[in-house]
Structure 1
Amino acid sequence: MRPISVYIHIPFCIKKCKYCDFVSFPIVKQDVAAYFDALIKTALPRAAKLLTSKHRIVETIYIGGGTPTAVPQAHLAELLTSSVNALPISRDVEVTVEMNPGTADASYISKILACGGRRISIGVQSFNDRSLRFLGRIHNARQARNCFENVRAAGCRNINIDLIYGTPGESLDDVMHSVDTAISLAPEHISVYGLSIPEGTALHKRLRAGEFTLPSPDQQRKVYETIRDTLRAAGYIQYEVSNYAKPGLECRHNLNYWRRGEYIGLGCAASSYLDGVRSRNVNSVAEYVERMANGASVVCQSERLSKEERVEEAVMLGLRLREGISLSQLLRDEGIRLLQTRRNQIQKLATAKLVNIENDFLRLTDDGVLVADEVIAWLT
């Protein structure tokens, strides 16, 4: 059976963060109940039937949002139980649940783990209260630490902490306080992202109005290098541009995305990639529930990627991984000899010490990671 991942989108939040452009909505009890009913009674059985017919086995399940733990405990518990019971899962399936501090107490956390959750990803973002307020988070640094400690006390042995750097006015010492605090808690995985402010968000409006400025590229580079070196020294392996893990504890779900594996998305706004076709579900909670009730498709757009698009995607995703792109795998999958089709570009990048080739893999150097977007654009 071929491996596949399952993503389940929970689009509900207590409050939308100021930098967030994900599909999420304020909690309304009636909407939450109807949505989970649609997921559990219709979406999961459909998915189980589809995956079984296509001889796929689920290696990872990821429940993200939104804020999954913002909904009543009973809904999320039933979804977890139903997922692991209905889907054709592997014996060592990785089941991740996203959690924000301030949304789940010790009892809630224990229930998640008892119902099948095996990995918890905590959206800390910062251990600096001023930064948290700027980002519009609902928790403070003390609550973030308490959340981690409660997850660990409940018996979870695979925890991720999300951090964000690049908040205006934040010094290098401020950032490293957050990183050092995270390290002191000893999570198995740490994700560290530079602040991104998409159009349409509350922060983008303020940025456009000139209310604040973002750190310069040179400042961001220094912060990134300091974070990277500190995490490496603490025993974390950088396996992707923004992700670090203890050996053997990389996020298998995200690795499947970056390695161009197949996945299906359940819930509104969720995406799928199956049999070479990428698709996306409707954004509206009400429309998703209605279509499910009527037995209709919830897909609002789909496309079959061309060969050139698949190769470009392989380069874009593969170079984010520190392992790089397997040249032999690309040849088997797409019939492309990258060293021939991109020969001049690769030679120039190698001369500039931005990429190297070793044991069949084309990968970014440390310097290349700092300009990853430019390198990827040059190769695609």
Structure 2
Amino acid sequence: MKDISSAKKTESSGIYFHIPFCKRKCDYCDFTTVRYDKYFVDEYLVYLLQELELYESILKDIDKEEITIYFGGGSPSLLPHKYVEKLINKICDKTREPIEVTLESNPWELTDENLRYWKKIGITRLSVGVQSSDRKILNNVGRESPDDTEKRLKKARVIFDNMNVDFILGLPGESWKSVENNIQLIKEINPDHISYYIFDKDHDTPLMRKYNNAIIKLPDVNLCEMLHDYLLTKLNKLNYRRYEISSWSFKGKECQHNLNYWKNGNYIGCGISSGGHVNNLRYVNHVDLNKYKAKLDSHRFPYEFSNENSFFEEFIEKIFMGLRLKEGIRITDFIHDSEIKLYLKKLLKNNSEFLEIKGSRLKLTNKGFDVSRSVFESIISTKEEMNDVFRT
């Protein structure tokens, strides 16, 4: 395993903290979560700070102007204010001032006290997981549904001038009315950024187990496709620009932290199940809390998986992530490689309707954006078809 503490002049620009606490896990969620417990929260912070110490030389060597921090989960909004502040300060002691600090929150945690304090300690971007404005849909998936969500969102909007709202399309009970209500909520709140995900049936979640056991029904695929097309039209009329498969924003309000992911940039991930990419090292931390703690107790990186990517593996990751963006990826850094030329030729042939090269950029066509999953599967299958040709 490569010791990345010795890496020099990294261009890492993102730091992610996975805050896994949840009071209750929603039925659609497949993220790593832990039931909220005050003792565990205190202990977990100690380990996050310990993990950051292992990256001290990396943080000192960051030489990019644009540094971002992201608190994801789980429910990071459950983290005591002083702990959020301590983690931000720890980063700021080693790097330049971040251009963006995002914290995810549930609607019911948008209290006056939280909003004021988050702003005070340096949170610059709030991401609120609404998921649906329909209380029946939320009840169907075991999610809290406060009756004053809109009021709370409006308060948050006054305090934060950079705000995202998350929605999920395709949950049990989805209808034209529920989507129209979501659009109406967007009009009322006017967030800078919207993430609208399609519920993924491929993950082993409580919701999918209920569906497979005929306990609940999911909306028809054709209905979801029509609703998605409707959303595209409505969001465009509201001046939101779709810049990534599931992301819309006003001009200049794209999520800088996530853009770094999609451009296959460098970032450090801290906490259980977090992933990172530093230079050509790709890693994922242990999901198991005890294994995570044991590694850190012995002053080792808490990796469950790590790989020093080859040139070709970096390229595959770059197109896999970058094709999520409307602008696609710039391929001039790779095109001189004969193996990559051969790969791209075959990939384009297999996806002639869905992929195109415009100038120096490889990108999804409009039709490709609608069937992106099959294109991503093709990226992998095309590589596997040509394994005898490529270096690995």
Q: TM-score, normalised by structure 1?
A: 0.89
The structure-2 alpha-carbon separation of the partners of 1:378 and 1:359, relative to structure 1 and needing over 3 Å to count, comes to same
In the alignment, which of 176, 179, 203 is matched to residue 207 of structure 2? 203
Whether 1:341 aligns to 2:350 is no
Cα deviation, 1:120-176, whole Å, max 9, x if unaligned, reads: 100110111011111221233x343233222223x2110000001111231122112
In the alignment, which of 244, 269, 280 is matched to residue 276 of structure 1? 280
Whether 1:65 aligns to 2:73 is yes
Number of the residue aligned with 2:149: 144
Whether 1:241 aligns to 2:250 is no
The structure-2 alpha-carbon separation of the partners of 1:371 and 1:75, relative to structure 1 and needing over 3 Å to count, comes to same
The structure-2 alpha-carbon separation of the partners of 1:33 and 1:290, relative to structure 1 and needing over 3 Å to count, comes to farther
Whether 1:360 aligns to 2:330 is no
Instruction: State whether residues 4 and 60 of structure 1, in contact with CA within 8 Å, keep that contact through their aligned partners in structure 2.
Output: yes
Whether 1:80 aligns to 2:85 is no
- Answer with 263-272 or 173-182: which moved more: 173-182
Q: CA deviation at 1:93?
A: 1.9
Cα deviation, 1:46-100, whole Å, max 9, x if unaligned, reads: 33333224656661111111101123333333333333x33313x4521111111
In the alignment, which of 39, 46, 62 is matched to residue 30 of structure 1? 39
Number of the residue aligned with 2:230: 226
Whether 1:190 aligns to 2:194 is yes
Instruction: State whether residues 328 and 360 of structure 1, in contact with CA within 8 Å, keep that contact through their aligned partners in structure 2.
Output: yes
> What is the number of equivalent residue pairs in this alignment?
371
Q: CA deviation at 1:115?
A: 0.8
Number of the residue aligned with 2:323: 319
Q: Which amino acid aligns with 1:364?
A: L
In the alignment, which of 122, 127, 130 is matched to residue 136 of structure 2? 130
The structure-2 alpha-carbon separation of the partners of 1:43 and 1:120, relative to structure 1 and needing over 3 Å to count, comes to same
Q: Residues 88-99 of structure 1: matches in 2 within 5 Å?
A: 88-89=95-96, 91=97, 93-99=99-105
Number of the residue aligned with 2:109: 103
Cα deviation, 1:227-285, whole Å, max 9, x if unaligned, reads: 11111111011000110000011001111111110111111211111121111222233
Q: Which amino acid aligns with 2:129?
A: G
**Root mean square deviation of aligned Cα:** 2.3
Q: What SS is found at the alignment partner of 1:330?
A: coil
Instruction: State whether residues 31 and 286 of structure 1, in contact with CA within 8 Å, keep that contact through their aligned partners in structure 2.
Output: no
CA distance in 2, matches of 1:301, 1:39: 18
- Answer with 162-171 or 292-301: which moved more: 292-301
CA distance in 1, matches of 2:250, 2:338: 34
Q: CA deviation at 1:200?
A: 3.6
The structure-2 alpha-carbon separation of the partners of 1:343 and 1:171, relative to structure 1 and needing over 3 Å to count, comes to same
Number of the residue aligned with 1:376: 376
CA distance in 2, matches of 1:267, 1:345: 36
Residue identity (%): 28
CA distance in 2, matches of 1:213, 1:203: 10
Q: Which amino acid aligns with 1:6?
A: I
Runs (4+) of structure 1 exceeding 6 A deviation are none
- Answer with 125-134 or 44-53: which moved more: 44-53
Q: Which amino acid aligns with 2:84?
A: L
Whether 1:173 aligns to 2:177 is yes
CA distance in 2, matches of 1:338, 1:323: 20
Number of the residue aligned with 2:387: none
Unaligned runs of 5+ in 1: none
Q: CA deviation at 1:211?
A: 1.9
